[in-house]
Structure 1
């Protein structure tokens, strides 16, 4: 998944388009797929930039995401508008929509079927929810928790701060 947090101004369209080009290259998508992803991104980001009156919003933020799923790339735009979008772009996957997942939040999405540059290559789409990788090798125990004198000095300093007194220097 690739994500950008952007200010909702016209230059956000260019930034989204650049991310589409980068992701398409990394995922080895065909030029036709990259073009369609770019068109969908332009339309969704444009919807997020313009308010109901058609005037650009001032200092609204949007989140632009590209999510690779089996046989498609999902383009998502999250913003703070509370009205339904005027229209959603048509795509090859014919899957798109919008929702209001929370108060003052709107998400618009559109799926685009993936086309690979080479017929024999396969996409490395995650099969499910991504998981954190386990640490390899032994994990070192914290040295600070083994030093009782250090912990006592920290505790005394915190108590001194709570009582608004100047810390006393002990043994230094």
Structure 2
């Protein structure tokens, strides 16, 4: 049951469990909840020409990382996992509100702990963010009216057409389980 007291940071998740965004407990983290939250969250704050989910984006980010490194691919898949609980806030807004970034970082720390993953090193995180930036430029070029602000789009071949919420959620869970099994 989810705490409904005013001021509580506890939210109900897809699986029906609760999660406290201000005091994240790794025991409350579920891959299914992350997948569902991200499958329903639209990239670019919802301002794209067609729906494109953060879960779909995260699957592509994981595939941009070396195939011989399941750890890096898993970090790529989960790099936006905090957004499953706090929403997809555009980068310029996040940059202005450090307290929001701290909340999201604490959620990510709970995710790493929940899946028994050592937090990423600075080098690993830089590699994940470089993949994220490549996808950002690619996606902005293809699904925004004018994505030129994101930089020159790299030559990638990802399908950005939306699958159903159920399908993308299941693809995310399947990829996550496969990568976790390889660690």
TM-score normalised by structure 1 residue count: 0.28
TM-score by length of 2: 0.27
Higher strand share: 1
Point out the structure with the larger helix share.
2
Structure with bigger RCO (C-alpha 8 Å, 6+ apart): 2
